Protein backbone atom coordinates (compact mmCIF):
# COMPACT_ATOMS: atom_id res chain seq x y z
CA UNK A 1 0.00 0.00 0.00
CA UNK A 2 1.51 3.33 -1.07
CA UNK A 3 1.52 6.47 1.10
CA UNK A 4 -1.53 7.99 -0.59
CA UNK A 5 -3.66 4.89 -0.01
CA UNK A 6 -2.41 4.69 3.59
CA UNK A 7 -3.43 8.32 4.13
CA UNK A 8 -6.93 7.66 2.75
CA UNK A 9 -7.24 4.50 4.85
CA UNK A 10 -6.17 6.54 7.90
CA UNK A 11 -9.07 8.93 7.18
CA UNK A 12 -11.56 6.06 6.73
CA UNK A 13 -10.63 4.48 10.05
CA UNK A 14 -10.71 7.84 11.87
CA UNK A 15 -14.22 8.56 10.53
CA UNK A 16 -15.46 5.09 11.52
CA UNK A 17 -14.00 5.39 15.01
CA UNK A 18 -15.59 8.81 15.51
CA UNK A 19 -19.03 7.46 14.57
CA UNK A 20 -19.69 6.91 18.29
CA UNK A 21 -20.34 10.65 18.64
CA UNK A 22 -23.37 12.39 17.04
CA UNK A 23 -22.84 14.26 13.75
CA UNK A 24 -23.65 17.62 15.36
CA UNK A 25 -23.22 18.89 18.90
CA UNK A 26 -26.56 20.75 18.93
CA UNK A 27 -29.76 21.01 16.92
CA UNK A 28 -28.88 24.70 16.52
CA UNK A 29 -25.53 23.88 14.89
CA UNK A 30 -24.79 25.50 11.53
CA UNK A 31 -24.22 21.96 10.19
CA UNK A 32 -21.41 23.11 7.90
CA UNK A 33 -19.10 20.37 9.17
CA UNK A 34 -19.85 17.19 11.11
CA UNK A 35 -18.10 16.35 14.35
CA UNK A 36 -16.64 13.27 12.63
CA UNK A 37 -14.99 15.48 9.99
CA UNK A 38 -13.61 17.91 12.57
CA UNK A 39 -12.28 15.17 14.85
CA UNK A 40 -10.61 13.43 11.89
CA UNK A 41 -8.96 16.71 10.91
CA UNK A 42 -7.62 17.19 14.44
CA UNK A 43 -6.07 13.71 14.37
CA UNK A 44 -4.58 14.42 10.93
CA UNK A 45 -3.18 17.70 12.26
CA UNK A 46 -1.47 15.80 15.08
CA UNK A 47 -0.12 13.34 12.53
CA UNK A 48 1.28 16.15 10.38
CA UNK A 49 2.98 17.96 13.34
CA UNK A 50 1.90 21.29 11.76
CA UNK A 51 0.31 24.33 13.38
CA UNK A 52 -3.42 24.92 12.84
CA UNK A 53 -2.87 27.51 10.10
CA UNK A 54 -0.21 25.48 8.28
CA UNK A 55 -2.33 22.33 8.47
CA UNK A 56 -5.38 24.07 6.98
CA UNK A 57 -3.25 25.36 4.09
CA UNK A 58 -1.64 21.95 3.56
CA UNK A 59 -4.86 19.93 3.71
CA UNK A 60 -6.61 22.33 1.33
CA UNK A 61 -4.47 21.16 -1.60
CA UNK A 62 -5.16 17.46 -1.00
CA UNK A 63 -8.22 17.03 -3.19
CA UNK A 64 -8.37 13.24 -2.80
CA UNK A 65 -8.31 13.49 1.01
CA UNK A 66 -10.98 16.20 1.01
CA UNK A 67 -13.19 14.08 -1.24
CA UNK A 68 -12.66 11.05 1.02
CA UNK A 69 -13.70 13.10 4.03
CA UNK A 70 -16.69 14.60 2.19
CA UNK A 71 -15.43 18.18 2.38
CA UNK A 72 -15.96 20.89 -0.23
CA UNK A 73 -13.85 23.34 1.75
CA UNK A 74 -11.49 23.12 4.68
CA UNK A 75 -12.63 24.47 8.08
CA UNK A 76 -10.75 27.52 9.29
CA UNK A 77 -8.08 27.22 11.96
CA UNK A 78 -10.36 28.95 14.48
CA UNK A 79 -13.15 26.44 13.73
CA UNK A 80 -10.79 23.54 14.53
CA UNK A 81 -9.59 25.28 17.69
CA UNK A 82 -13.15 25.80 18.92
CA UNK A 83 -14.00 22.15 18.31
CA UNK A 84 -10.82 21.03 20.10
CA UNK A 85 -11.81 23.15 23.09
CA UNK A 86 -15.38 21.81 23.00
CA UNK A 87 -14.82 18.06 22.71
CA UNK A 88 -14.46 16.20 26.00
CA UNK A 89 -11.40 14.21 27.07
CA UNK A 90 -13.59 11.23 27.99
CA UNK A 91 -14.89 11.01 24.42
CA UNK A 92 -11.35 10.93 23.00
CA UNK A 93 -10.35 8.31 25.61
CA UNK A 94 -13.36 6.20 24.62
CA UNK A 95 -12.40 6.38 20.93
CA UNK A 96 -8.79 5.44 21.75
CA UNK A 97 -10.00 2.42 23.74
CA UNK A 98 -12.42 1.32 21.00
CA UNK A 99 -9.55 0.83 18.51
CA UNK A 100 -8.91 -2.66 19.89
CA UNK A 101 -12.41 -3.69 18.71
CA UNK A 102 -11.20 -3.42 15.10
CA UNK A 103 -8.85 -6.36 15.64
CA UNK A 104 -11.40 -8.89 16.86
CA UNK A 105 -9.34 -9.61 19.98
CA UNK A 106 -11.27 -11.18 22.85
CA UNK A 107 -8.78 -10.86 25.74
CA UNK A 108 -6.01 -8.35 26.39
CA UNK A 109 -2.33 -9.09 26.88
CA UNK A 110 -1.71 -5.93 28.85
CA UNK A 111 1.60 -4.10 29.18
CA UNK A 112 1.94 -0.91 31.21
CA UNK A 113 4.63 1.78 31.20
CA UNK A 114 5.05 5.56 31.40
CA UNK A 115 7.07 8.27 29.68
CA UNK A 116 7.49 12.04 29.82
CA UNK A 117 6.78 14.78 27.28
CA UNK A 118 8.22 18.29 27.34
CA UNK A 119 6.08 21.40 27.46
CA UNK A 120 6.91 23.94 24.78
CA UNK A 121 8.65 26.79 26.58
CA UNK A 122 10.91 28.21 23.88
CA UNK A 123 14.29 27.27 22.48
CA UNK A 124 17.42 26.97 24.62
CA UNK A 125 18.78 30.32 23.38
CA UNK A 126 15.47 32.11 24.01
CA UNK A 127 15.32 30.72 27.54
CA UNK A 128 18.97 31.62 28.07
CA UNK A 129 18.22 35.28 27.31
CA UNK A 130 15.48 35.15 29.94
CA UNK A 131 17.85 33.50 32.40
CA UNK A 132 15.85 30.26 32.46
CA UNK A 133 18.11 27.98 30.41
CA UNK A 134 19.55 26.21 33.43
CA UNK A 135 16.14 25.42 34.90
CA UNK A 136 14.57 22.00 34.43
CA UNK A 137 11.93 21.88 31.72
CA UNK A 138 8.37 21.14 32.78
CA UNK A 139 7.07 17.72 31.81
CA UNK A 140 3.79 15.92 31.26
CA UNK A 141 3.65 12.30 32.37
CA UNK A 142 1.86 9.85 30.07
CA UNK A 143 1.10 6.36 31.39
CA UNK A 144 -0.37 3.88 28.91
CA UNK A 145 -1.83 0.38 28.97
CA UNK A 146 -1.16 -1.45 25.71
CA UNK A 147 -2.27 -4.72 24.16
CA UNK A 148 1.18 -6.17 23.50
CA UNK A 149 0.02 -8.55 20.75
CA UNK A 150 -1.63 -5.94 18.52
CA UNK A 151 0.48 -3.07 19.92
CA UNK A 152 -2.52 -0.79 20.40
CA UNK A 153 -3.08 1.67 23.23
CA UNK A 154 -6.10 0.64 25.31
CA UNK A 155 -6.07 3.16 28.17
CA UNK A 156 -4.06 6.14 29.33
CA UNK A 157 -3.53 8.45 32.28
CA UNK A 158 -1.97 11.91 31.92
CA UNK A 159 -0.45 13.90 34.78
CA UNK A 160 0.87 17.45 34.62
CA UNK A 161 3.55 16.91 37.23
CA UNK A 162 6.16 14.28 38.01
CA UNK A 163 4.72 11.33 39.88
CA UNK A 164 5.70 7.76 40.62
CA UNK A 165 4.61 5.35 37.89
CA UNK A 166 3.03 2.99 40.42
CA UNK A 167 0.21 5.47 41.19
CA UNK A 168 -1.54 4.75 37.89
CA UNK A 169 -1.23 0.96 37.60
CA UNK A 170 -4.56 -0.05 39.15
CA UNK A 171 -6.40 2.79 37.38
CA UNK A 172 -5.07 1.70 33.97
CA UNK A 173 -5.96 -1.95 34.63
CA UNK A 174 -9.49 -0.90 35.67
CA UNK A 175 -9.97 1.18 32.53
CA UNK A 176 -8.66 -1.62 30.32
CA UNK A 177 -10.84 -4.30 31.96
CA UNK A 178 -13.96 -2.26 31.11
CA UNK A 179 -13.02 -2.46 27.42
CA UNK A 180 -11.98 -6.13 27.19
CA UNK A 181 -11.27 -8.95 29.67
CA UNK A 182 -7.59 -9.14 30.63
CA UNK A 183 -5.60 -12.34 30.25
CA UNK A 184 -2.28 -11.10 31.66
CA UNK A 185 -0.79 -7.81 32.87
CA UNK A 186 2.96 -7.17 32.81
CA UNK A 187 5.02 -4.21 34.00
CA UNK A 188 8.57 -3.45 35.11
CA UNK A 189 9.94 -3.23 38.66
CA UNK A 190 8.72 0.35 39.02
CA UNK A 191 5.23 -1.09 39.57
CA UNK A 192 6.34 -3.66 42.16
CA UNK A 193 3.64 -3.53 44.83
CA UNK A 194 1.67 -6.35 46.42
CA UNK A 195 -1.52 -4.30 46.03
CA UNK A 196 -1.09 -4.39 42.25
CA UNK A 197 -0.73 -8.19 42.28
CA UNK A 198 -3.76 -8.62 44.52
CA UNK A 199 -5.92 -6.38 42.33
CA UNK A 200 -5.01 -8.09 39.05
CA UNK A 201 -5.12 -11.66 40.36
CA UNK A 202 -8.11 -11.46 42.70
CA UNK A 203 -10.26 -8.61 41.39
CA UNK A 204 -9.61 -8.97 37.64
CA UNK A 205 -8.89 -12.73 37.74
CA UNK A 206 -5.87 -12.43 35.44
CA UNK A 207 -2.18 -13.32 35.55
CA UNK A 208 0.28 -10.66 36.68
CA UNK A 209 4.04 -10.46 36.17
CA UNK A 210 5.84 -7.62 37.94
CA UNK A 211 9.35 -8.66 39.03
CA UNK A 212 10.09 -7.85 42.70
CA UNK A 213 12.80 -5.32 43.39
CA UNK A 214 16.14 -6.75 44.46
CA UNK A 215 16.07 -5.37 47.99
CA UNK A 216 16.93 -8.83 49.26
CA UNK A 217 17.85 -12.13 47.64
CA UNK A 218 16.20 -14.10 50.44
CA UNK A 219 12.72 -15.32 49.62
CA UNK A 220 11.52 -15.46 53.25
CA UNK A 221 12.33 -11.75 53.68
CA UNK A 222 10.22 -10.76 50.66
CA UNK A 223 6.89 -9.31 51.75
CA UNK A 224 3.65 -10.34 50.07
CA UNK A 225 2.40 -13.76 48.95
CA UNK A 226 2.42 -13.01 45.21
CA UNK A 227 5.79 -11.26 45.35
CA UNK A 228 7.25 -14.34 47.06
CA UNK A 229 5.86 -16.58 44.31
CA UNK A 230 7.62 -14.48 41.69
CA UNK A 231 10.90 -15.12 43.53
CA UNK A 232 10.54 -18.74 42.41
CA UNK A 233 10.60 -17.61 38.80
CA UNK A 234 8.26 -16.48 36.01
CA UNK A 235 8.02 -16.69 32.23
CA UNK A 236 10.69 -14.37 30.88
CA UNK A 237 9.15 -14.64 27.41
CA UNK A 238 5.79 -13.32 28.63
CA UNK A 239 7.41 -10.66 30.82
CA UNK A 240 9.58 -9.22 28.05
CA UNK A 241 6.47 -8.54 25.95
CA UNK A 242 6.25 -5.37 28.04
CA UNK A 243 9.22 -3.95 26.09
CA UNK A 244 6.73 -3.35 23.27
CA UNK A 245 5.23 -0.57 25.41
CA UNK A 246 8.61 1.19 25.40
CA UNK A 247 8.70 0.76 21.62
CA UNK A 248 5.26 2.39 21.31
CA UNK A 249 6.38 5.35 23.45
CA UNK A 250 9.45 5.74 21.24
CA UNK A 251 7.41 5.54 18.02
CA UNK A 252 4.88 8.11 19.27
CA UNK A 253 7.63 10.60 20.10
CA UNK A 254 9.40 10.04 16.79
CA UNK A 255 6.24 10.37 14.68
CA UNK A 256 4.28 13.03 16.56
CA UNK A 257 6.96 14.86 18.54
CA UNK A 258 7.90 14.79 22.22
CA UNK A 259 6.91 18.41 22.83
CA UNK A 260 3.39 19.51 23.84
CA UNK A 261 2.66 22.96 22.39
CA UNK A 262 -0.72 23.68 24.04
CA UNK A 263 -0.62 26.20 26.90
CA UNK A 264 -3.70 25.33 28.98
CA UNK A 265 -3.78 22.09 30.96
CA UNK A 266 -7.02 20.77 29.43
CA UNK A 267 -5.75 21.40 25.90
CA UNK A 268 -2.40 19.78 26.79
CA UNK A 269 -4.30 16.70 27.93
CA UNK A 270 -6.32 16.61 24.70
CA UNK A 271 -3.16 17.02 22.62
CA UNK A 272 -1.68 13.96 24.35
CA UNK A 273 -4.87 11.97 23.75
CA UNK A 274 -4.83 12.93 20.06
CA UNK A 275 -1.25 11.64 19.88
CA UNK A 276 -2.47 8.31 21.27
CA UNK A 277 -5.38 8.23 18.82
CA UNK A 278 -3.16 9.13 15.86
CA UNK A 279 -0.79 6.31 16.83
CA UNK A 280 -3.63 3.78 17.16
CA UNK A 281 -5.12 4.66 13.77
CA UNK A 282 -1.71 4.42 12.12
CA UNK A 283 -1.25 1.02 13.73
CA UNK A 284 -4.68 -0.14 12.48
CA UNK A 285 -3.67 0.90 8.96
CA UNK A 286 -0.56 -1.29 9.30
CA UNK A 287 -2.65 -4.18 10.64
CA UNK A 288 -4.98 -3.86 7.67
CA UNK A 289 -7.84 -1.82 9.09
CA UNK A 290 -10.90 -3.49 10.53
CA UNK A 291 -11.46 -7.24 10.22
67 and 139 part of one domain = no
Asked if pLDDT for residue 290 goes beyond 50, the answer is no
pLDDT confidence of residue 291: 47
Report the C-alpha gap between 4 and 244 in whole angstroms.
Answer: 28
Q: Domain check: are 82 and 108 in the same one?
A: no
DSSP class of residue 159 equals E
3-state secondary structure at position 129: helix
- With a cut of 80, say whether residue 221 has pLDDT above it: no
pLDDT in tens, 190-202: 898 889 999 999 9
3-state helix, strand, coil in the chain (%, to 5): 55, 15, 30
Whole-number Cα distances in Å, 83 to 20, 49, 80, 187, 190: 16, 18, 5, 36, 38
User: Rounded mean pLDDT of 205-218?
Assistant: 80
Together in a domain, 151 and 172: yes
- The percentage of residues in the chain with a pLDDT greater than 70, rounded to a whole number, is 90
Residues 211 and 119 in one domain: yes
- Flag the least confident range among 5-19, 115-129, 232-246: 115-129
pLDDT reported for residue 25: 87
Same-domain pairing of 149 and 70: no
Indicate which CATH number applies to the domain containing 213. Answer: 3.30.420
Q: DSSP 3-state assignment of 154?
A: strand
C-alpha to C-alpha distance for 151 and 144, rounded to whole angstroms = 11
Nearest to 14 by CA among 277, 236, 201: 277
Segment 151-184, tens digit of pLDDT? 999 999 999 877 788 899 999 999 999 999 999 9
Q: Give 78-81 contacts, CB < 8 A, sequence gap 24+.
A: 79/33, 79/38, 80/38, 80/41, 80/42, 80/45, 80/52, 80/55, 80/56, 81/52
CA angle 99, 88, 12 (to 5 degrees): 35
- pLDDT per residue over 261-270, tens digit each? 898 999 999 9
Considering the domain boundaries, does residue 19 fall inside one? yes
Averaged pLDDT for residues 216-232: 70
Verify that 253 and 118 share a domain, yes or no: yes
270-285 average pLDDT score: 96
- Do 230 and 126 lie in one domain? The reply is yes
Q: Which domain holds residue 201?
A: 99-264
pLDDT at 132: 59
pTM of the model: 0.90
pLDDT recorded at residue 288: 86
How much is the pLDDT for 76? 95
Provide the mean pLDDT of the chain.
89
pLDDT reported for residue 152 = 97
Q: State yes or no: pLDDT of 273 exceeds 70.
A: yes
Tell me the mean pLDDT in the region 85-96: 96
* Percent of the chain whose predicted confidence (pLDDT) is above 90: 69
213: enclosing H helix or E strand:
none
Amino acid sequence: MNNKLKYLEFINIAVELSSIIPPYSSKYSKKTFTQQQLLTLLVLKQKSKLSYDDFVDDFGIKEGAMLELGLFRVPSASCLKRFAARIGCKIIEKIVGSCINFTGKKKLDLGIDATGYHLEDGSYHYRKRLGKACKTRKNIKLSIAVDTEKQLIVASKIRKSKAHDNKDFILLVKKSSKIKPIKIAVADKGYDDEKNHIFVREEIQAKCIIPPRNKTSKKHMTQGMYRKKLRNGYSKKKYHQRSKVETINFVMKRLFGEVVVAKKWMMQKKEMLFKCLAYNIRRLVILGGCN
